[in-house]
Structure 1
Amino acid sequence: MEQAFLIRPATAADRSALRALIERSAAALSVGFYTQEQTVAVTREVFGVDSQLLADGTYYVVETGGAIAACGGWGKRSTGFGGDQAKSAPEPLLDPATEAARIRAFFVEPAWVRRGLGSLLMTHCAAEASAAGFGALELVSTLPGVPLYRVLGFTDVESFDLQLSDGVRVPVVRMRRTVLERT
């Protein structure tokens, strides 16, 4: 029997469940890519719920059996990554005619990895960004996500390190693709 998945906009009521999912996903999926110190630092300082995405209605959850199995979204504002704790400036709207929509904060419950939920979310987000007039998508991926995003048609733009507290450096990759790529 095939598993049924529902994609719906995330709400403020999902906040604690999202935070817990993000922490579990980061801890499990970062193994082999980052040290424990890097994983803890990036989870504390960067990963998290972005209130603006919730307010914009562009952050989604994938539910199955009433439980959240994955989350992710897209942004129409200049912020490229990070939860509320990583923000320090206003977030101006992007110009869909000249700028890429931002793919943001994809996390999958460890028990649901490699079952197509990332692809499902990307298809949904790409369609929504296209409907809003965007012709391109851009994201900043942690190393565990890079293989998925490459399969989904993203190409590397640049690699750089996030400079976190206590001198912790976390390598990430900025990636880009057109909205119309097959997902």
Structure 2
Amino acid sequence: MTDPTRFRSRIATEDDIPAIIDLMRASIAENMKAFLSDAEIEAAQETMGVDRSLIADRTYFVIETEKDGETVMVACGGWGKRRTLYGGDHTVGRDDSLSDPATEAARIRAMYTHPDWTRRGIGSMLLDLGEQAAREAGFQTIELGSTVPGLPLYEARGYVAFHTVHQIGANGEKSTIIHMRKPL
């Protein structure tokens, strides 16, 4: 489990976007290597990136800690109250209309951990934050679109796969997105 005195969360702001982009790039470049080839990572990146609607909605978190006297961002992620399941501002097929908490699921979105900070419970911390906020907003179910590398964490946290999509990237490689859900 994460030591809450070591890591702290806060709501992301527009000013965080450059650091979030850097963190996402580092996470994608390193954390996916054990699961995907370089070409598959390249294809997967086509649906990844900053989603400014999450920041505007105040549903996106950053996790920080102190290292050598400096505050460093070690992870980011959040939840969405919109119908878009995954992707950044540029992702084709977005539906940014609001979900109805009485009949639709909230979304866990855009979770990334810097490679220097993996396996410390930070992903679970982000899930707890997103799930609790979605629950407080009246949602009874939560869904996410997982990459292959994210699958073990989400399964361990009670998410169940119900649909898998395979997209072909511009480089001809397959990108897999596993749709998962759990009750809140």
Q: What amino acid maps onto 1:29 in structure 2?
A: N
Q: Which moved more, 1:124-133 or 1:155-164?
A: 155-164
Query: Which residue is equivalent to 1:68?
Result: 73
Pairing 1:9–2:11 present = yes
Pairing 1:168–2:169 present = no
In 2, Cα distance between the equivalents of 1:176 and 1:62? 24
SS of residue paired to 2:127: helix
Q: What amino acid maps onto 1:46 in structure 2?
A: T
Q: What amino acid maps onto 1:133 in structure 2?
A: G
In 1, Cα distance between the equivalents of 2:163 and 2:93? 23
Equivalences for residues 1-183 of structure 1 within 5 A: 4-43=6-45, 45-65=46-66, 66-87=71-92, 89-179=94-184
How far off is 1:172 after superposition? Answer: 2.0
Q: Which runs of 5+ in 1 are unaligned?
A: none
SS of residue paired to 2:63: strand
Kept in 1, the 8 Å contact 2:44–2:176? The answer is no
SS of residue paired to 1:15: helix
How far off is 1:3 after superposition? Answer: 5.7
Kept in 1, the 8 Å contact 2:106–2:134? The answer is yes
SS of residue paired to 1:173: strand
In 1, Cα distance between the equivalents of 2:4 and 2:12? 24
How far off is 1:90 after superposition? Answer: 4.9
Q: What amino acid maps onto 2:10 in structure 1?
A: R
In 2, Cα distance between the equivalents of 1:6 and 1:87? 33
In 2, Cα distance between the equivalents of 1:14 and 1:120? 19
| Aligned residue pairs, count | 178
SS of residue paired to 2:75: strand
In 1, Cα distance between the equivalents of 2:143 and 2:181? 4
Q: What amino acid maps onto 1:157 in structure 2?
A: F
Q: What amino acid maps onto 2:49 in structure 1?
A: G
How far off is 1:169 after superposition? Answer: 1.4
Kept in 1, the 8 Å contact 2:160–2:182? The answer is yes
Q: What amino acid maps onto 1:69 in structure 2?
A: V
Q: Which moved more, 1:2-11 or 1:120-129?
A: 2-11
TM-score for both structures, normalised by structure 1: 0.92
In 2, Cα distance between the equivalents of 1:101 and 1:91? 12
TM-score for both structures, normalised by structure 2: 0.92
How far off is 1:42 after superposition? Answer: 2.1
How far off is 1:29 after superposition? Answer: 1.2
SS of residue paired to 2:90: helix
- Structure number with the higher helix fraction is 1
Q: Which moved more, 1:97-106 or 1:163-172?
A: 163-172
